[in-house]
């Protein structure tokens, strides 16, 4: 399967700043990547689907101006949390849709964001 990395693995920032999280597919060209968010003791929630070269598709209730997604190449998608607030503190996980299509997703290790 595909190897997916995320950077940084954890980040602490001040309220009001913006944070960029990178998701890289190291050995696979990914036309589709997904961004998830996980709160403590809660399920992973899909935030958006990122398609290379086009705008991301956001799930209901996710602010697209708050969570900016850029999928500029087949190996890189970025999530920028703009003007972060403490309630944005969470675990953010990306995944890559595999060659098998929609059924297979390969996940990154996640990024833990703490906003003070």
Partner 1 sequence: GNSVTQMEGPVTLSEEAFLTINCTYTATGYPSLFWYVQYPGEGLQLLLKATKADDKGSNKGFEATYRKETTSFHLEKGSVQVSDSAVYFCALRTGANNLFFGTGTRLTVIP
Binding stretches for partner 1 (CB under 8 A): 1, 4, 32, 41-44, 46, 49, 93, 95, 97, 101-110
By C-beta, is 14 or 41 nearer to partner 1?
41
CB of residue 59 to partner 1, shortest distance in Å:
8
CA–CA distance, 47 with 56 (Å, rounded to integer): 10
**In whole angstroms, how close is the CB of 35 to partner 1 at the nearest point?**
12
R_g of the chain, CA atoms, integer Å: 13
Q: How far is the CB of 109 from partner 1 (least distance, A)?
A: 5
């Amino acid at each position: 399967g595909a190897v997916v990395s995320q950077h940084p693995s954890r980040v602490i920032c001040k309220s009001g700043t913006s944070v960029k999280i990178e998701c890289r597919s190291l050995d696979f060209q990914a036309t589709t990547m997904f961004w998830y968010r996980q709160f403590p003791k809660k399920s992973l929630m899909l935030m958006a689907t990122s398609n290379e070269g086009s705008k991301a598709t956001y799930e209901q209730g996710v602010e697209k101006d708050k969570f900016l997604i850029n999928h500029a190449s087949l190996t890189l998608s970025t999530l920028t949390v703009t003007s972060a607030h403490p309630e944005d503190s969470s675990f953010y996980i990306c995944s890559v849709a595999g060659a098998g299509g929609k059924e297979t997703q390969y996940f990154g290790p996640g990024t833990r964001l703490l906003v003070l």
